[in-house]
Chains A and B, each alone.
Chain A
């Protein structure tokens, strides 16, 4: 028997009911097996010159049933929003409507090529234009760049237009101000564009310290990057004053729109004085998180920044819809360039528009209302047993710190892992960095009161167990998951990023390679 089938059989033996052990693809299958059927190629004279591959690629061969089973079994080891409450702060884990998926798969959207003649894709361009219109109306901003492929990409785009606008004015401003509480993408983006990043501390109310901000504003500041509501889940009440301060100093006001779900449909960022904001379609507008992506990060902009938006973009005139793909066709606009291939994340645009049309202006009003209500309900229901660093009300997410765990030797991590055993996905841990051992809970509007009550009850119980010294419950958690706590130190010290075929064995079956002992592949029996 080949080594492969040994491993596959061992895994099957180790599985118990729905506690699944599943080997790697490469540990399964057989040479020559295929999960597709393909016709024989027509007779032809090859035109590959001397460029044919020599030797094997090394891929395993599996039939369709084996592949479907493999991924189905893998999926059963995952939590999704569809599985359980998933209150990751700052991620907006709201329900992903399936009509979005149906719409995205309509042949007229899924089966069109980005470089077809624009006369053959007028519907696609119109869709992008309609979504752009909604985003402008919801934010109150006059222009939007649709091409960025994710939130961080949108941040790059937003800061790039600021840089270009300053260059065009001949102004040399090299600093960007970023609150201490900001998400890491903010300073990373600013630094990538060559700006020096300076931190603004928070005041005791968790908001930007206005005095500190005023002190740092000067003729060398290009922009302030602010998240609003901020990463502590609090609305920056002084935001209009902040915008005035920033503009008076000749700088631009960048708003990180990651938390837009708190105010969508109820407050327009333009009314707060911002100049540019990226929107995460995969947060506020429900496009699926998909285990890490893809996202989409359109950027709304003020008139002063709009001319610098990247290519390509859609224009609508008497002749219909057109794509501007070349600087020469941009007229008076001065796009700073192209940041991605082709036309942008069309598949996410279709989904976002389906979501927006489903909700309408009244539905979106209700979205932010319920999102904020749910978060405040959680804050009010837990603040007597957990420690909240800031007075409520909060916006769409509730922040706690680890002061309530003082004297227990337990940490935020321990609580989170125990929460998994209670059937919930943990909240965001250790972010924002401005409080110690942060717990950031964002329920979103798509959760019922019953779910929130169950979650609150679980956390109250865990807080109680922690304070009464029940360390055992926590230290070995989670207990009921396909894998227990994983050794992240080992993964970082000895990175193994791929499967490699086992070294050729010697006669008696021992590995010729005698480096570190390998982890046990599967555990047979328990």
Chain B
């Protein structure tokens, strides 16, 4: 078997050194009844690479890839072009196959890119410090709420109705399981939410999003002052990280904690994972911040170097008193993010954001020609809510057969709400071509007749 170097002769010699008669001897502590006599039945046996490739390619072929047809799907995961160099670097064995940098002398590569990553995240979000990443946006949001609970000593999170449902559900699940309350608003693109009215003296934090789930842009500066007056923290979520290339960052609005989904840079759609949660906050909260964190220091010769630091917040030291049970960051995904962002740079990110917005404007303009359809948003970045004359899920299923992947029916994430049934979230990125847009227009016109 190609990954197993030991030969029959090797095993014989090793058993002799150990003084065992056979490998079974080494398993003598396993209860006899639990010792299988041979490989588990009903499972396939080992395969050469080409057969594995064949099997998996057959499964892959049963999926409609986003690049194979007109594609407008967003709602928290965005299709951007990942430059070819990113993967080539990621696949270097020194990055791909290294472990968490607990021996910093032989991990300065990892540690330096984490330090650079943390700096980039702080810059993008307009915050003072950031960690080395969490699993994804939704879990980062839940961690932000728990951090706010610890800091304020309160246990009630006020959640915007315009927060992506997966973020809200993850926070609410953590609330139910770990013991804090959530007061979530109802999702609606039709009315402005009065979130300030829900903040009371027991509120630890307010969680909002911009661009929000419906694509609308918000300035939370006024809200941040209300939160401050009430002693609550403001948590701002950003699900499309590219938007930070041209929009006012949450830090400039007075956010206390910012969480983002970083997937949009350096990472493929991957059917939902692995993704990368970005987490940034004010420096004064540094000791309450969850997850791994990389810091600058010097070595024995006075040279600048980097190490994991503030570990005493983490599970391997504090055990039951840890800030969180988290053990992993999203290493490779964070690396993809930081490489992509390095290639873009200031000018490139701004250009990319401009291009995304321009494409979405172009699409919104074309959609005005489809009778019965209306773009509800006044403002958006690269995603907006389209109101259709019929249930959006039916139209999406119909168009999927063409195939056109027309967007996400709001009802998929907010089921059972008749007012939202006809709403479709539509996204355009730099990869959306004009002919894709025209194909969508044509198909929608037909389907909405």
Contacts and interface: CB of A to CB of B under 8 A. Distances in A.
A-B complex is real? yes
Contact of A187 (B92, B106, B169, B319): B319
Contacts of A350: 56
B105 A370 contact: no
Given A29-B345, A341-B76, A106 B57 contact: yes
A315 interface: no
B270 A347 contact: yes
A98 to B, nearest CB: 8
**A interface, by DSSP: helix, strand, loop or mixed?**
loop
The 4 closest A-B pairs by CB, nearest first: A108-B60, A82-B93, A337-B173, A342-B272
Nearest to B42: A137
B178 A495 contact: no
Contacts of A103: 52-53, 56
A150 interface: yes
A298 interface: no
Contacts of B97: 80-83, 93, 95-96, 288-289
Interface string B9-22: 01101110111100
Interface in A59-74: 59-62, 64, 67-68, 70-72, 74
A51 B219 contact: yes
A36 B430 CA distance: 13
9 contacts: A35-B83, A38-B352, A59-B346, A95-B3, A119-B400, A185-B327, A290-B96, A380-B19, A498-B118
Contact of A110 (B55, B169, B268, B311): B268
B65 A77 contact: no
Contacts of A448: 5-6, 10
B64 interface: yes
Which of B14, B331, B339 has the most A CB atoms < 10 Å from its CB?
A: B14
A353 interface: yes
Nearest to A448: B5
B197 interface: no
B103 interface: yes
Q: How large is the interface on A (under 10, 10 to 19, 20 to 34, 35 or more residues)?
A: 35 or more
B226 to A, nearest CB: 19
Given A103-B56, A111-B268, A24 B109 contact: no
Contacts of A491: 295-297, 307, 309
Given A292-B101, A294-B328, A346-B271, A267 B63 contact: no
A121 B93 contact: no
Interface stretch (B26-34, B152-160, B185-193, B441-449): B26-34
Contacts of A79: 94, 98, 103, 106-107
A354 interface: yes
Contacts of A109: 56, 59-60, 63, 270-271
B243 to A, nearest CB: 9
A117 B62 CA distance: 13
Contacts of A1: none
Nearest to B412: A115
A150 B268 contact: no
A151 interface: yes
A333 to B, nearest CB: 15
